[in-house]
Amino acid sequence: MDTEKAEGGTVQTTERRQTSRGRRESDFQRERELEMLRAEIEMLMTERENLLRSTGAAAIFVAKLDSHTLPEATYEAADILAATINGLPEETLRDAIDLVREQLGESLGDDDEEEK
């Protein structure tokens, strides 16, 4: 084994090469894992936005729906939908409604002004 002078003592050349190669391989592995994680996060964020859009549209639909005009056959499905929407965390529901209202060009105060 060859030896070289290094800061703080001597280092054997073959050991340094193995360490460098090992670090490079682990760096490539880490980069591949990070890229996979980024892709997964991007996919989850896209899925979240789609779910928020669906939830927001359903919430606005339920809020504007006249329950007295529903056919009796839809009561159970409407109850399930309303219970699911009401069971959401407030922040999630607000994000969903904001996303849809932004797309529709409505502000949060539009319904409040109509009721007055």
23-33 in b/e form (b: 16+ CB < 10 A) is eeeeeeeeeee
Query: Is the predicted pLDDT of residue 75 greater than 80, yes or no?
Result: yes
Domain carrying residue 27:
3-115
Would you say 42 and 52 are in contact if contact means Cβ atoms under 8 Å apart? no
Q: Is the pTM of this model over 0.75?
A: no
How many domains are there within the chain? 1
pLDDT band at 86 (very low <50, low <70, confident <90, very high): very high
Quick check: 100 pLDDT over 70? Answer: yes
SS (H, E, C) 62-111: HHHCCHHHCCHHHHHHHHHHHHHHHCCCHHHHHHHHHHHHHHHCCCCCHH
Residue 36's pLDDT is 97
Give the integer Cα–Cα distance in Å for 51 and 96: 8
Mean pLDDT across the stretch 80-97?
A: 95
Please, what is the average pLDDT of the chain?
A: 81
- What does the pLDDT average to over 28-34? 93
Q: Higher model confidence: residue 33 or residue 9?
A: 33
